[in-house]
Amino acid sequence: MNVLDLAQRRHSPRAFSGQALAWEDLVPAFEAARLSSSSYNNQPWRFMVGLKGEAGFDALLDTAVEANRSWMKDAGAIVGVVSSGVLEKTGEPDHAAMYGVGMAVNAMEFTFVAQGLTSMQAGGFDRKAFGELAGLPYHHTPIALLAVGHAPEGHTPSPKVRKDLDDIVFKVGDRIPG
């Protein structure tokens, strides 16, 4: 599968089979994240993992808002995604930290697709509760819960709803509409 195939196949399933995943199922995606580029090579991504069947899974699930809990409970694992907001070498703010974390998570999601798994991010969760659960240092920001697992039998992805290329790509001299 080339990268465009992966982008076309990746979708937010809002449903999982309930089958648990093992740590080894997640390692290729974490490796893809680890190899991502980042501003100053600061590598701002941090991940907090709960595998289905472990207390950590239920603890992460409990931080999700009800609407997200309804489908996330059937994921095989939940990964709490965290951004470290300080440049390690200087102690200055890392203004590109969340950008870097997003790139790393995209690499993870493509890796899951290539493995025949499916994943979905959720920003609807209690960040304060997550921060307490994870014991986050002050400059770390919870970004999302990333649910991963197997799609249910017969699952059909919803059609992609996207802007056209003309709405997002411009040439110098064009005006980007507000």
- Which residues lie near ligand FMN (CB under 6 A)? 11-12, 14, 68, 121-124, 144, 160
The CA-based dihedral angle spanning residues 44, 105, 74, 159, taken in that order and rounded to the nearest 10 degrees: 150
If the CB atoms of residues 29 and 87 are measured against ligand FMN, the closer one turns out to be 29
CB of 71 to ligand FMN, least distance (A): 8
If the CB atoms of residues 106 and 115 are measured against ligand FMN, the closer one turns out to be 106
What is the distance of C-alpha 121 from the center of its chain?
Answer: 5
CB of 123 to ligand FMN, least distance (A): 4
Pairing of strands 140-149, 118-122: antiparallel
If the CB atoms of residues 32 and 87 are measured against ligand FMN, the closer one turns out to be 32
Whether residue 122 contacts residue 64, with contact meaning beta carbons closer than 8 Å, is answered with yes
Nearest to 112 by CA among 174, 48, 30: 30
